[in-house]
Structure 1
Amino acid sequence: MNDNTALSEEVSPATHSIFIGPDGLRAGWSLLIFIVLMAASFSGVSAISRLLHLIPRKSAADAPVTPTFMYIAESLPFLATLLVTWIMSKIERRPNSVYGLGGNRKLPRFLAGLAWGVTCLTLLFLILWKTGLLVINSRLLFGSDIFRYGALWLVGFLLVGLLEEYVTRGYLQFTLTRGLTVLYQWAFETRHSKALGFWTSALIFSILFGLGHGKNPGESPIGLLAAGLASMVFCLSLWRTGSLWWAIGFHTSWDWAQSFLYGVADSGTMVQHHLLATHPFGKPLMSGGATGPEGSIYVLLILALVSLIILFTLPKERSSNE
């Protein structure tokens, strides 16, 4: 009995260290639990949606997206992500705010992102229009319909921004950064381990984010590259501010301006009830073709500009990431 007790005392610390590190549950186990819970929750959401016919069927793969479809297709997985992230915060005993939706300046950051998103997309639209690569055919909405559908689509793209940012740059980004930081500290004993961990995880998830757009209809190599680079740009805003709110605002208004305001494809996808009817003209590499403006080589210039905007307008909050 005494031997077993002694053995237990010898084994327990070693077993404990496999699961628990200096900052709590080790990142690898956290990621594994999170992925399992996300897979289960998404499967549950999908099953319930099919059972209750919550998500209406589109008539064709390239049919324009309706507001109802977007609301349900984006809000259900976002709520599932919120729930799983909250569960992980309880398991890890951390405040839920550390995973990207915290910060002291949520509304100002979000509104600034909104303003810059529509501004930068408008600049890209003007470049394509003035160079003859994009043609405006007609105006489709008039009077109160402009405000009604504009508001409907703004809420819809807010859900898109919340889902895509929180899934890819929320818990996953925080936790992989945490794990890689420990690895870099062990391997190189450098004071820059947090930065190395953050940008390594940012690169990994940005590549996955870009590749994830490959299933979109009409997507192109430049479009996939742009999606991946945009993800890195959004990570830059996260690094500077410690929160996702600027990126969520930018993501929301960028997609809204493309899809509703200017009536162009967003990664090959069109929506119903947009303001302008347009079509690309010329080589897809320059005009974006069926992908939309994000498929144009000019989008790379805009993304470089967005990086500069972040660097000059978002002061670094040291306590967030260092």
Structure 2
Amino acid sequence: MKLVWQILAVVAVGAVGGQSVTAVQGNPWLSLLLAALTVVLSVLVYRWVVGRTERRPVTELAREGARGALLRGLAIGVAMFGCVIANIYLLGDYKVHGFGSLTGAVALFGFMAGAAVTEELMFRGLLFRLVERGLGTYIALALSGAVFGAVHLLNQDATLVGGVAIAIEAGGMLAAAYAATRSLWLPIGLHFGWNFAESGIFGTEVSGNGDTHGLLDASTSGTKLITGGEFGPEASVYSVLFGALLTVAFLWLAHRRGHIVPRQRAERVNALATLAR
């Protein structure tokens, strides 16, 4: 029941907030305001329900060091997508036609911030963290990544290749970032930086959600292996490559810091918890 309450509370806030922001996308400033409210409310609800049901300090959302972790994640996310789009551009498959829309970028800023926070709370804060307790870090990373990729198959122009790419480059990378830091702030910043760079800056499709109107009016053309096709650059081989490299780097850091939970250790922890009850 503790797990059920956590999922219901976090998912409910994320769903209502996401629908509200989507409903007013034609008004960028209202969209930004509702997204900010969704972010704040989601964090508060997560802290409250997890702290109350698990009876512990919610260290994964500690205020100390939050700003620095967010900014580091933001920088990594923007730089990573910048490398992806640079490679596509050098092959002649990404073209900039001029400036896009500042108000469109503002609306996307809010939408992507809300999506980054709510998705990280659900998929890394709840799914990955709770599965890791029983099955260890590596199995939790694979399972949560697969679920994360599968959810994106519901998008408008979703493709199977895109879903698999998301599972590897985002599901794995973001879970590994959480494992390395044991904080949700870095993956939140990374998630937001990646998505906003993709849509709000470079004006490309995001996860099969159709056209976006960011700061640049741009388009991609060419082989789907390079551009990702209708799904967007997240289905590009370059995104998978850079995401996989960052996943390995974060896992190496997690191992160095002693943050990897082996399956055997997780089973012992569960057995001790059962005996204690």
| TM tier relative to shorter chain | 0.7 to 0.9
Mapping of residues 256-275 of structure 1, within 5 Å: 256-269=196-209, 273-275=213-215
Moved more, 262-271 or 159-168: 262-271
Moved more, 105-114 or 242-251: 105-114
Displacement of 1:102 in angstroms is: 2.6
Say yes or no: does 1:132 pair with 2:92: yes
Match of 2:82 in 1: 122
Give the number of aligned pairs: 261
**In structure 1, distance between residues paired with 2:250 and 2:34:** 32
Q: Under a length normalisation based on structure 2, what TM-score does the superposition of the two structures give?
A: 0.78
**Structure 1 pair 49–319 and aligned structure 2 pair: CA distance change class (3 A):** closer
Identical aligned pairs, as a percentage? 24
Consecutive unaligned residues of structure 2, counting only runs of 5 or more, are: 263-277
**In structure 1, distance between residues paired with 2:123 and 2:189:** 16
**In structure 2, distance between residues paired with 1:233 and 1:259:** 20
**Structure 1 pair 72–271 and aligned structure 2 pair: CA distance change class (3 A):** farther
Match of 1:14 in 2: none
Mapping of residues 1-322 of structure 1, within 5 Å: 29-38=1-10, 41-42=12-13, 46=16, 54=20, 57=23, 68-69=30-31, 72=34, 75-76=37-38, 79-80=41-42, 82-83=44-45, 85-97=47-59, 100-102=60-62, 104-141=64-101, 145=102, 153-178=108-133, 180=134, 196-229=135-168, 230-269=170-209, 273-310=213-250, 316-318=256-258
**In structure 2, distance between residues paired with 1:236 and 1:49:** 25
Moved more, 281-290 or 260-269: 281-290
Moved more, 117-126 or 311-320: 311-320
**In structure 1, distance between residues paired with 2:161 and 2:28:** 26
**In structure 1, distance between residues paired with 2:190 and 2:167:** 15
RMSD: 3.5
Q: Under a length normalisation based on structure 1, what TM-score does the superposition of the two structures give?
A: 0.68
**Structure 1 pair 140–174 and aligned structure 2 pair: CA distance change class (3 A):** closer
Q: Give the counterpart letter for 2:145 in structure 1.
A: S
Maintained 8 Å contact 1:78/1:162: no
Displacement of 1:255 in angstroms is: 0.8
Maintained 8 Å contact 1:121/1:258: yes
Displacement of 1:95 in angstroms is: 0.9
Maintained 8 Å contact 2:32/2:110: no
**Structure 1 pair 69–312 and aligned structure 2 pair: CA distance change class (3 A):** same
Consecutive unaligned residues of structure 1, counting only runs of 5 or more, are: 1-28, 181-195
Give CA-to-partner distance per residue, 1:78-122, whole Å, 9 cap, x none. 72564255123223211122xx21375322222211111111101
**Structure 1 pair 321–291 and aligned structure 2 pair: CA distance change class (3 A):** same
Displacement of 1:153 in angstroms is: 4.1
Moved more, 301-310 or 291-300: 301-310
SS of 1:267 mapped into structure 2: coil
Displacement of 1:306 in angstroms is: 2.0
SS of 1:318 mapped into structure 2: coil
Greater helix percent: which structure?
A: 2
**In structure 2, distance between residues paired with 1:308 and 1:173:** 17
Displacement of 1:165 in angstroms is: 0.7
**In structure 2, distance between residues paired with 1:162 and 1:49:** 11
Q: Give the counterpart letter for 2:195 in structure 1.
A: D
